[in-house]
Amino acid sequence: MTPVVLIRFVLQADPAWVEVDRDDGIVIEARDVEGSAHRELRATTTVKLPVNALCDAAFGPKGFDASEPSLKSRRALREGPDEQVHYDQMSAPIVADRDIVVRDRRERLPNGACRVFVDAVKDEAVPPRDDHVRIEAMRSSWLFEPKANGETAVTHTVWTDPKVSMPVAFVEPSRRKNAVTWVKLVLERARAASAPARAR
């Protein structure tokens, strides 16, 4: 690799992750996103739960789950074995309630790992409403990797533009808390799903 190519590669590389918090064994990191005041977050941990149970938990139930943060309603738009699209309405403190059209995609990898991609999408069946602020910029992913000792490495990344006028310093702590809440929720779903199998 020539010096010019090397310099270009370094300049184009993604920003580095920086640890910003820890919560109950979950490490929270953040990195800048070009063109956005809000940083991308990454939450990582290692657990003694099977990959498939975790991946199914992240892919989520088809219907409403009251344990999901701020969720007040959900309507399924399309359902498939490894892809689903749903319309969610969410309550929000201080500011107006939000809504979003979400696509979940699950991918099982040859090495035994599993990924789930969660993205905001547009759907003509659900136009924006006057009584909610539509979240149109959101991307999230989950990666579950089996380890040699029987544990699973969990990586959750998320970036969203919450469309609020409040200072970023006020919003970011709640975004970090929400990422931790989601990781704990997925772990709890996986534990509940795998408990009967372990009992047998």
In a domain, 68, yes or no: yes
What are 112-162's pLDDT values in tens digits? Answer: 999 999 999 999 999 999 999 999 999 999 999 999 999 999 999 999 887
**Segment 41-92, tens digit of pLDDT:** 999 999 999 999 999 999 988 789 999 989 999 999 999 999 999 999 999 8
CA 158 to chain centroid, in Å, comes to 5
Token pair 């991307």 is at which residue?
Answer: 139
Across-strand partners of 85?
A: 78, 103
Domain that holds residue 116: 17-199
Residue 2 falls within a domain, yes or no?
no
Q: In this model, does residue 37 exceed pLDDT 70?
A: yes
**1 within domain boundaries:** no
Report for 26-40, 88-102, 103-117, 125-139: range of highest mean pLDDT: 103-117
Nearest-CA neighbor of 93 among 20, 200, 166, 25?
Answer: 166
pLDDT, residue 75, reads 95
Q: What is the pLDDT of residue 6?
A: 44
pLDDT the model gives residue 14: 83
Q: How far apart are CA 125 and CA 17, in angstroms?
A: 38
Residue 153 lies in a domain: yes
132 within domain boundaries: yes
CATH number at residue 179: 3.30.530.20
Q: Tell me, what DSSP letter sits at residue 123?
A: -
* Number of domains into which the chain is organized: 1
DSSP state of 164: -
In a domain, 3, yes or no: no
58 assigned to some structural domain: yes
Strand segments (E) across the chain: 18-23, 26-31, 40-47, 71-79, 83-90, 98-108, 114-120, 133-134, 138-146, 152-160
105 domain residue, yes or no:
yes
Task: Using pLDDT thresholds of 50, 70 and 90, give the confidence band for residue 96.
Answer: confident
CA distances from 10 to 16, 33, 73, 168, 191 (A): 11, 16, 44, 28, 41
171 vs 45, higher pLDDT: 45
